[in-house]
């Protein structure tokens, strides 16, 4: 995630802190200063925040390890003021897999709460367990109740919380994925509206307004992602391939690339070597970064991405789209019988989806599909 700082790694997964997280720390310090609190009280509050976000990291790690069990890697975990985000390479394709991945996070909080409860029993502090105030109670008791609250909050059936994914997974066992997503998204947006109303009408509950916005946008984003998946399912790569393209040699200077950019519409270029063999691809973002760093004397071979794979024009667009996101490759060379025939780019996939959606809305999808069959 942009504007984040890496602070370490767990199980091979990078842990990042978003810059907005420091606003929470600053708010706690300023609040204690305004209220005349002691430095010790401020340190105690910051210690509790650190402990809670440690639990959040473990919660997200639970998702990540469950996803890894199904062959899905996690790019990173990022801490935000409202919690954490584990950025999976892709969502599980099977409803039961998504169910287990979604439940793995809250399960971690249940385990933490149970461990703290055992510690309280050992320390003979069970008499204090009826203190239902996570803030202002003893450290261990507060930590236990906060983990219980995290379980309850995350299981609210609203995207992007775990409960929204649990609801979709359960619905998807009976209905198709798109319908399950639409229902879960609608439930989530309804809950977001309810949170917003409570936040406006009930004094001291203004934080629900931010949660409502977060939930509403998360549900909308999840619905759009499901629509993309539905549109791309069963469509071959050749439906969205760019067939008018130029290639570059790995020995070409960047001035040649700049000339090509200014002369035409192409922004990403397959790279070939002296034997006309495909050796990589140069994308515009890498070129711009090199120019901004003063590397105008570099060659194409120094900046190209050799790790970006090729894709056959008969492969499915849905899977190719997922692989492009996983590998962070905005463009890929397309081959047919081993010969380079075009490019597939994120931009062209988006354009194909817009055209397909417009034709579908206009009742012309069947004519479009027939045209595709004749030209494909």
Q: What is the DSSP string of 96-120?
A: HHHHHHHHHHHHHHHHHHHHHHHHH
Q: What 3-state DSSP class applies to 373?
A: helix
pLDDT of 376: 46
Residues 14, 86 contacting (CB under 8 angstroms): no
Min mean pLDDT across 44-53, 287-296, 329-338 is at 44-53
Question: Is residue 262 predicted with pLDDT exceeding 80?
Answer: yes
Q: Is the pLDDT of residue 312 over 70?
A: yes
pLDDT of residue 66: 92
Paired tokens of 212: 């409502």
The pLDDT score that the predictor gives to residue 88 is 81
Mean pLDDT confidence for 334-362: 81
What pLDDT, in 10s, does the model give residues 33-46? 666 666 776 677 77
Q: What pLDDT, in 10s, does the model give residues 85-95? A: 888 877 787 88
Residue 145 · residue 137 · CB < 8 Å: yes
Stated as kind and residue range, the H or E segment containing 344 is strand 339-345
Confidence of residue 131 (pLDDT cuts 50, 70, 90): low
In this prediction, residue 19 has a pLDDT band, given cuts at 50, 70 and 90, of confident
User: With bands split at pLDDT 50, 70 and 90, how would you rate the model's confidence at 71?
Assistant: confident
- Does pLDDT of 354 surpass 60? yes
CB 78 within 8 A of CB 51: no
Percent of the chain residues past pLDDT 90, beyond the cut: 7
Burial status of residue 317 (CB atoms within 10 A of its CB: 0-12, 13-18, 19 or more): buried
Mean pLDDT, the chain, integer: 80
d(CA 356, CA 94): 26
H-type alpha helices, the chain? 21-34, 39-69, 95-122, 139-154, 162-172, 177-201, 207-232, 254-263, 284-292, 300-303, 317-327, 346-361, 365-375
Report helix, strand or coil for 57.
helix
Contact 342, 242 (CB under 8 A): yes
Q: What pLDDT digit, counting tens, does each position of 281-295 carry? A: 888 888 888 888 888
């Amino acid at each position: 995630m942009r504007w984040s700082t890496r602070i370490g790694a767990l199980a091979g997964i990078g842990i990042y802190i978003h810059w907005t997280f420091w606003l929470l720390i600053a708010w706690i310090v300023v609040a204690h200063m305004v209220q005349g609190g002691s430095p010790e009280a401020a340190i105690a509050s910051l210690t509790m925040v650190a402990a809670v976000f440690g639990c959040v990291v473990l919660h997200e790690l639970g998702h990540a390890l469950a996803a890894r069990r199904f062959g899905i890697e996690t790019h990173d975990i990022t801490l935000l003021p409202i919690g954490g985000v584990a950025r999976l390479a892709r969502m599980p394709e099977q409803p039961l897999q998504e169910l287990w991945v979604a439940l793995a996070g809250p399960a971690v909080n249940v385990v933490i709460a149970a461990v703290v409860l055992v510690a309280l029993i050992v320390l003979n502090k069970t008499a204090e367990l009826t203190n239902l105030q996570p803030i202002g109670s003893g450290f261990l008791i507060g930590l236990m109740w906060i983990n219980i609250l995290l379980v309850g909050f995350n299981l609210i059936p609203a995207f992007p919380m775990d409960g929204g994914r649990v609801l979709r997974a359960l619905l998807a066992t009976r209905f198709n994925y798109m319908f399950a997503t639409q229902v879960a998204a609608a439930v989530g947006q309804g809950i977001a509206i309810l949170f917003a109303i409570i936040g406006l009408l009930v004094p001291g509950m203004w934080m629900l307004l931010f949660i409502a916005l977060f939930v509403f946008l998360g549900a909308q984003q999840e619905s759009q992602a499901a629509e993309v998946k539905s549109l791309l399912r069963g469509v071959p790569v050749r439906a969205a391939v760019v067939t008018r393209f130029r290639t570059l040699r790995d020995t070409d200077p960047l001035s040649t690339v700049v000339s090509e950019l200014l002369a035409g519409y192409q922004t990403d270029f397959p790279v070939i070597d002296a034997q006309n063999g495909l050796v990589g691809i140069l994308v515009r973002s890498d070129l711009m970064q090199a120019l901004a760093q003063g590397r105008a004397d570099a060659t194409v071979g120094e900046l190209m991405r050799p790790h970006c794979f090729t894709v056959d024009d008969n492969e499915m667009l849905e899977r190719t789209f997922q692989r492009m996101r996983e590998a962070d490759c905005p463009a890929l060379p397309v081959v047919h019988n081993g010969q380079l025939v075009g490019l597939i780019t994120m931009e062209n996939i988006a354009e194909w989806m817009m055209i397909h959606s417009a034709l579908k809305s206009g009742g012309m999808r069947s004519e479009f599909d027939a045209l595709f069959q004749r030209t494909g």
